[in-house]
Amino acid sequence: MFFASDNTSGLPGPIMDALIRANDGFASGYGTDAYMDGLRTKIRRLFDAPEAEMMLVTTGTAANALALATLCPPWGAVYCHPLAHIEVDECGAPEFFTNGAKLVHVPGTDGKIDPDALDAQLAQSGRGVVHHVQPACLSLTNLTECGTRYSVAELTTLCTIAHRHGLPVHLDGARFANALAAEGCTPAEMSWRAGVDVLVLGGTKNGLMGVEAVVFFNPDRFWEAQLRRKRAGHLWSKHRYLSAQMLAWFEGGLWLELATQANAHAARLAEGLAGKLMFPRGGNMLFATLPRTTHDALQAQGAQYYLWPDHQQMNFADTVCMRLVTSWASSDAEIDSFLNIVTAKR
């Protein structure tokens, strides 16, 4: 019963096979390999974005921080939700890579930025006043850190507001495939057509071994992004092991197949936890509030998950909130075992 995270599963067969094939012989380094050429072409076609440029890194934190550093100067402000990964779980990497930019919170329910709040804050941002940080970019997350999903319409509304105020938009898509599979739209509709300027397309949580793509739909800043990647020590020499994985991930729609499987497992889990969920299910991540006695029983049987937020682990709490994340490798059997324990303790 392993629901701690979707980045802890192994690799699906086609990805491991791709790595084995890529291991044969020699290949040019630093992203000049043939796999990377094929991947660039594939992403441009999938996103219907013939001018797009992209680079690969091995962690989501590096991908987000490098993207934001390219969009935001040291005296700039990145507008994000208070629960955004860049704010809560990246140890100051965005601030470090931008050389001091400020993360400014924009509130909203269920992990989503409220459009009216964003518009109001940008209207009073202090643009042009030397005493204030200058508004530089908007950062969104899909799926959100609450497991909810921005619809295409919601993304479009927020991006339109940002662009009206002169801000580019960064999308943290660590679970972009899960959001896309659940929304049932095209990659273009959930990215640049909605107004996203830079997308972090996550693969690690959906079957890849440490591969994240930073996609620039406007290539004007791409050279700077490449220099920042190298300067930060994130340009792999044996790059083919990254590009070969992601290329295989796209073949035959495997990436969406894996995401659909993860979402389906979460739906099964959500059905059994009806009435206990804190947020609407948007993809493959749930937050359930259950009695501490149920938590203790689950732990005794080896169930693995995180409590959210961390202070809920304090012994005096009668209830706990569990973050439950399914992956492509989750099974109906482990979900049923989990739910049987929950039912027995009610």
- For residue 67, being part of any structural domain is answered with yes
- For residue 4, being part of any structural domain is answered with no
Map tokens 């059905």 to a residue. Answer: 271
Per-residue pLDDT tens for 82-108? 999 999 999 999 999 999 999 999 999
The answer, yes or no, to whether the previous bond of 309 is cis (omega within 30 of 0) is yes
Instruction: Among 253, 285, 310, identify where a domain stops.
Output: 253
What whole-number percentage of the chain has pLDDT above 90?
Answer: 95
pLDDT for residue 17 is more than 90: yes
- For residue 8, being part of any structural domain is answered with no
Instruction: Among 206, 232, 253, identify where a domain stops.
Output: 253
- Could you write out the three-class secondary structure of the chain? CECCCCCCCCCCHHHHHHHHHHCCCCCCCCCCCHHHHHHHHHHHHHCCCCCCEEEEECCHHHHHHHHHHHHCCCCEEEEECCCCHHHHCCCCHHHHHCCCCEEEECCCHHHCCCHHHHHHHHHCCCCCCCCCCEEEEEEEECCCCCCCCCCHHHHHHHHHHHHHCCCCEEEEECCHHHHHHHHCCCCCCCCHHHCCCEEEEECHHHCCCCCEEEEECCHHHHHHHHHHHHHCCCCCCCCHHHHHHHHHHHHHHHHHHHHHHHHHHHHHHHHHCCCCECCCCCCCEEEEEEEHHHHHHHHHCCCECEECCHHHHCCCCCEEEEEEECCCCCCHHHHHHHHHHHHHCC
According to the model, what pLDDT value does residue 309 have? 80
Per-residue pLDDT tens for 28-67? 999 999 999 999 999 999 999 999 999 999 999 999 999 9
Say whether both 93 and 204 belong to one domain.
Answer: yes
Number of domains in the chain: 2
CA distance 178 to 283: 6
- For residue 7, being part of any structural domain is answered with no
According to the model, what pLDDT value does residue 314 have? 53
Say whether both 175 and 321 belong to one domain.
Answer: no
Say whether both 241 and 310 belong to one domain.
Answer: no
Backbone CA torsion sign across 64, 70, 75, 76: negative
CA distance 140 to 158: 9
> Residue 212 burial (CB < 10 Å; 0-12/13-18/19+)?
buried
pLDDT for residue 315 is more than 70: no
Say whether both 95 and 192 belong to one domain.
Answer: yes
What CATH number does residue 282 fall under?
Answer: 3.90.1150.10
Say whether both 118 and 219 belong to one domain.
Answer: yes
According to the model, what pLDDT value does residue 235 have? 98
| Residues 345/297, Cβ–Cβ less than 8 Å | yes
- For residue 5, being part of any structural domain is answered with no
Say whether both 209 and 93 belong to one domain.
Answer: yes
- Once rounded to an integer, what is the mean pLDDT over residues 262-271? 98
pLDDT for residue 346 is more than 90: no
What b/e string do you get for 27-52 counting C-beta neighbours within 10 Å, with b at 16 or more?
beeebebebbebbbeebbebbebeeb
CA distance 9 to 37: 28
CA distance 293 to 301: 13
What CATH number does residue 206 fall under?
Answer: 3.40.640.10
**Half-sphere exposure (CA, 13 Å, Cβ side) for 44?**
14
Say whether both 213 and 292 belong to one domain.
Answer: no
Say whether both 200 and 302 belong to one domain.
Answer: no
The answer, yes or no, to whether the previous bond of 56 is cis (omega within 30 of 0) is no
- For residue 114, being part of any structural domain is answered with yes
Say whether both 188 and 299 belong to one domain.
Answer: no
Say whether both 73 and 198 belong to one domain.
Answer: yes
Q: By residue range, what is the domain housing residue 123?
A: 14-253
What whole-number percentage of the chain has pLDDT above 70?
Answer: 97
- For residue 52, being part of any structural domain is answered with yes
Strands 198-202 and 169-173: parallel
pTM recorded for the entire structure: 0.96
Mean pLDDT of the chain: 96
- For residue 298, being part of any structural domain is answered with yes
According to the model, what pLDDT value does residue 317 have? 74
Per-residue pLDDT tens for 204-254? 999 999 999 999 999 999 999 999 999 999 999 999 999 999 999 999 999
Say whether both 290 and 174 belong to one domain.
Answer: no
Instruction: Among 253, 285, 320, identify where a domain stops.
Output: 253
Say whether both 114 and 222 belong to one domain.
Answer: yes
Cα 73 vs. chain centroid, distance in angstroms?
23
